[in-house]
Amino acid sequence: MLTETDQRLLRIAYDEARTGFDEGGCPIGSVLARGGQVVAQGRNRRVQQGDPIAHGEMDALRKAGRQKTYRDTVLYTSLSPCMMCSGTIVQFGIPRVVIGDTRNFGGNEDFLRARGVDVVIADDPDCIALMQRFIAEKPDLWAEDIAE
C-alpha cells in the first residue's frame, strides 16, 4: 500500500524520468530515501553519458555515495528494475522498493521478493504513460536499454 510519503517520493522519481526524457534519454528515474527524506535522486543517463550501466537506480545510488547501511532505506523507481539494478538492491540490502510501472517492463519483482525485499507496485499512470510514449517514439533506444 502506498503512503503519502511513497506518493511524494515516487513523484520525484517520475520527475527525474521526465527530465531524462526531455534530455533525449531513457525516462527512468529513481530516489533513495531514508525516513521519508531524499538521500539522493537520479535518472537513467545511458544516452547522456554514453555509460551502459548508468541506469536510474544506479545513478541515484552513485549520487548517494557511501552509506554505512542501506537497511533503513527505500528505493523508488519509475520503472521496474532490471536484473543489474535488482542485484544491486539485494547486494546493498535495501529492504523496500516502490515501483511506478511494471506494465512496460517487469519480471524481477519475484527475484526481489524471494530475497526478502518488500516490493510495492504503484501502477502509477504517469510513469506508465511516459514509458509508453518513449517506447512508441524511440523503439530502437528502448530495445538497446533493455538489451534486446
Cell triple for 46: 545511458
Positive or negative, the CA dihedral 124, 97, 46, 60 is: positive
In the block, residue with C-alpha cell 547501511: 69
Which 8-state DSSP code applies to residue 106?
Answer: -
Catalytic residue among 4, 57, 109, 137: 57
The answer to whether the beta carbons of residues 95 and 117 sit under 8 Å apart is yes
Alpha carbons 16 and 102: distance in angstroms, whole number: 17
Answer yes or no: 57 catalytic: yes
Cell triple for 2: 502506498
| Residues annotated catalytic, as ranges | 57
